[in-house]
Amino acid sequence: MQRARDVSEDELLEAFLPIIKSHNTKADRLVLGPGDDCAVLELRDGLTVITTDTQTEDQDFRRTWANGMVTSGYDVGWKAATQNLADIAAMGAAPQTLLISLTLTPDTPVTWVEDFARGVTEACTAQGAEKCSISGGDLGAGSEISVTVTAVGTCLAPVLRSGAQTGDALVLAGAVGTAAAGLALLENSSSYQLTPGLSACIEAQQRPCSPLASGAAAAHQLTAMLDVSDGLLRDAGRIARASCVNIDIDAAALSPWVARVQETADLCRAPSQSADDLALHWVLTGGEDHGLLATCPADAVPAGFTQIGRVTQPGGSVTVDGKTYRAKGWDHFEATAR
């Protein structure tokens, strides 16, 4: 098996660039793709939105998990694309291109890099962003695998976090809690039999799917929106603070998402812990599903969104059934955040 240390940078590029270039044939905004110092895109018909995000080995993923499962290059590529595409969708924008900086360890198999490219391109296609090109990036060596993706999109008017108004409905498109349940399974070294329900949670952690089309389609109906990457409570708090409003989440409205992780909670709960409490905890605080959380007029909930709460009054805080929920969600620099 050839590894990164066995080939030159040009040879490594030649291994996966055909995958990228094949995908780019569907892009209608790409004037010049990989090969020059910069890519060239035609983006003059709207406002340009830009975001960037990083995945680092042993911080955001493990090559081999405690339960023995392996994270493939395909998984990392899929997740890297999704987390950036979701940020574009959360602005009510359409994704136009991705730029990717990939750092590899010398022992990384060349096939891992090819799988990474397939994960990126197939994530775009499967989630309705088949016209989003991969227009360039950078390739380097390091002591751990790391991937940084910059995404570019366009829109006529972005949906911000700061537009929520008293009386609005709090609405959600996509999933919450399943990726957190999947992480608990991956980190669980005890012996268990995978069922379809458990596998779905692991899939949500390794290859999350975001309702990308819902963001742009409903943009004109929404007053605020963001991507749920760090947990429902933490991200609702970002809308609350940016909009200077209080938000109350209806726990009963979350029951469909709680039900999806109930089987995993039964397996992973501590002896003194209720499976119901753990399932609700994942739904309220678990990140990485990349659902879209938004606010809108209470009498005009857009298609694809479900009401899960409401904007109650001016302020800047979030409650669940009128009460403060202690745990908030994921924070990269706060070990006790989950």
Binding-site entries: 37, 51-53, 60, 87, 137-138, 161, 227, 229-230, 288, 330
Q: Which residues are annotated as a binding site for Mg(2+)?
A: 37, 51-53, 87, 138, 227, 230
| Residues 205 and 71 sit within 8 Å (Cβ to Cβ) | no
In angstroms, the CA 46 to CA 221 distance is 19
Q: Which residues are annotated as a binding site for substrate?
A: 60, 288, 330
DSSP 233: H
Dmax over Cα atoms in the chain, in whole Å? Answer: 61
Which amino acid, one-letter code, is at 268?
Answer: C
Q: Which residues are annotated as a binding site for ATP?
A: 137-138, 161, 229
Q: Which of 205, 212, 196, 213 is nearest to 176 (CA)?
A: 205
Look at the chain and count its residues: 338
Q: Which of 246, 232, 220, 239 is nearest to 300 (CA)?
A: 220
Which amino acid, one-letter code, is at 126?
Answer: A
Which amino acid, one-letter code, is at 109?
Answer: P
Task: Compute the C-alpha angle 134/124/119, nearest 5°.
Answer: 80
